[in-house]
Amino acid sequence: MNVQPNIPFGMTDRPLIQISGLTKEYESRDGSRIQALAPVDLEVPDREFVCIVGPSGCGKSTLLRLLAGTLTASAGQILLSGAPVHGPSGQVGMVFQSPSLLPWRTVEANALIPLEIQKLDSRKYSQLSRELFDLVGLSGFRKKYPGELSGGMQQRVGLVRALIHDPSLLLMDEPFGALDAMTRETMNLELLRIWRDARKTVVLVTHSIPEAVFLADRVVVMSARPGRISEVVDIEIARPRRLEMMTSPEFGALVGRIRRHFGAQGRLDA
């Protein structure tokens, strides 16, 4: 799968992501400062699947955008493969809450956008492109337009687009939030399969605690105002994960443990 691995396998013990003392403040309209993110420290090893859960306004999306380099930190720093993040980088792929596809481009032309933007030779990536389309089951839809696809299919195109330039880190901002429950479960299973095959590090933000527990190696629980990490929960459920595992007592206990964080300050929205 890895056409050009960014880090040769086994070459580093360093975590892929090292976040230390990271804060983000916004200035509101009346000039007062709003702290969106209290100092946050987090390390994510290579090829780990991390989910971030928390209520609205807990800064989880802010954290994701700081990782993507589209926001600048007020203090602290993020190291990605040891290098500080200043602005967007080719090492990162992102899947957004809405599919964010360009309606005037074919499915394939949409997926190839990162290569086009970063002026990478698309011929070198054509093998990877074929594999990714096979992986998400959209090989027959490459010449279609986004308007002809269902919501779940559009989000899959977004996933191919996020992986097309072979980034080491995949960021996902509530990627399946707009899908119906059935499609969502299918997409979760597919995502785990892709993660296993593509051997990427994934940071996924979600509103849904069961979804986080189902997907993650570790769940980062955040709380609001200011956004900070309240707990990092290790999920030691065997892989590959299957939907019926969601009814096991172990699964229920983990969900319950995470949910307790939000009992005190109201419920998690959605």
Partner 1 sequence: MTSIIPPTPVRPVSWVARALRLPDLWSRILLLGACLAAWEAAVSVFAIPELLLPPPSRIGAALFSDLTSLRLLRHAGVTLTEVLGGFALGAGAGLALGCLLGRFDWLWRLSYPYVVAFETVPKVAIAPLIVVWFGFGVNSKIVTSALICFFPVVANTLSGLRTTPPELVEMMTTFKASTGQIFAKVRMPHAMPYVFAGLEIGIVMAVIGAIVGEFVGAQAGLGFMILQRQFAMDIAGVFSILAILSAFGIVLNVAIRRLQYTLVFWLPRSGHG
> Which residue among 3, 34, 117, 232 contacts partner 1 (CB under 8 A)?
117
x-marked contacts with partner 1 along 142-181 as a string, rule CB under 8 A: --xx-xx----------------x----------------
The 230-259 site mask, x for binding partner 1 (CB under 8 A), equals ------------------------------
**Residue from 2, 96, 142, 230 in contact with partner 1 (CB under 8 A):** 96
68 or 212, CB closer to partner 1?
68
Taking CB under 8 A as the rule, does residue 70 contact partner 1?
yes
Cα separation of 129 and 160, whole Å?
8
Determine the residue type at 46.
D
Contact between 6 and partner 1 (CB under 8 A)? no
CA distance between the termini of the chain? 35
User: Could you tell me if residue 246 is left (phi over 0), alpha (psi between -120 and 50 degrees) or otherwise beta?
Assistant: alpha
Per-residue string for binding with partner 1, 36-55, x by CB under 8 A?
A: --------------------
Token pair 């998400």 is found at: 136
72 counts as binding partner 1 under rule CB under 8 A: no
The alpha carbons of the chain give a radius of gyration, in whole angstroms, of 18
Question: Residue 104 CB, nearest distance to partner 1 (Å)?
Answer: 5
CB of 89 to partner 1, least distance (A): 7
* Cross-strand partners of 136: none
CB of 100 to partner 1, least distance (A): 4
Residues 6+ positions from 181 with CB-CB distance below 8 Å: none
Q: Distance between CA 37 and CA 63 in Å, rounded?
A: 8
In whole angstroms, give the CA distance from residue 259 to residue 102. 38
Quick check: helix, strand or coil at residue 88?
coil
Which spans of this chain sit near partner 1 (rule: CB under 8 A)? 68-70, 87-90, 92-94, 96-98, 100, 102-104, 113-114, 116-118, 144-145, 147-148, 165
